[in-house]
Amino acid sequence: MAEPEHPNPPTTAEAKIEISLNRLSQLFNSLDPSPFHERDLDQDAEDYIIGSAEEIGLQRPIALIVHLPADQLPPSGSPDLGEAIHNYFAYREDHERRRLRLLFRDGRIALISGLVFLFCCVLLRELAFSFGNDAASEIFGEGMLIIGWVAMWRPLEIFLYEWVPIRRRCRVLAKLAAMPVIIRPK
């Protein structure tokens, strides 16, 4: 019987994400040539683990329990499965944090561009009103104001809405990078 990958078994307060495998290699991407502790998880396994963690929420601690047939249990001297899973989720968290930083950078660039464009549109609007108050000036002026505010759509979308799911994903991945991983025989 294999020793648990984590010395402390999950408590009753911990939510359990359980995976049943026929062989340990099913958990990892078969095309990844990296050493065991640096390998990518299989996409289906990753989606299942992340989806389960998102359903559980960030408030409860979680533990990953991997069920394997007795003949597939890793020997005690083999590379640590928990470390491999932690490394993978830490890498994914770092990737998402980088994505968030790039999104905010793009948001700042879009905000500056949008404000400059809005300022130009307001100037054109005032210029149109200075030529007279006929219907054409009114239509052009209001059109410029609308176009200027539409240019602000993207930065507002980034700073109000787009960053939230990425930040949530970062928090879930950080939690998964630290969860206990336990191997149990089927």
- The DSSP symbol for 12 reads T
Question: What one-character DSSP code corresponds to residue 75?
Answer: P
* Tens of pLDDT, residues 93-144: 999 999 999 999 999 999 999 999 999 999 999 998 888 788 888 899 999 9
Mean of the per-residue pLDDT values of the chain: 87
Of the candidate ranges 84-88, 100-104, 159-163, the one whose mean pLDDT is the lowest = 84-88
Give the chain's radius of gyration (CA, Å): 26
Of residues 86, 79, 66, the one with CA closest to residue 4: 66
| Mean pLDDT score, 53-70 | 92
β-pairing, 15-20 vs 62-68, is: parallel
Share of the chain above pLDDT 70, in %: 87
pLDDT at 153 over 70: yes
* pLDDT tier at 35, thresholds 50, 70, 90: low
How many CA atoms are closer than 13 Å to the CA of 86, on its beta-carbon side?
Answer: 13
Strand order in the sheet with 62-68: 15-20, 62-68, 181-185
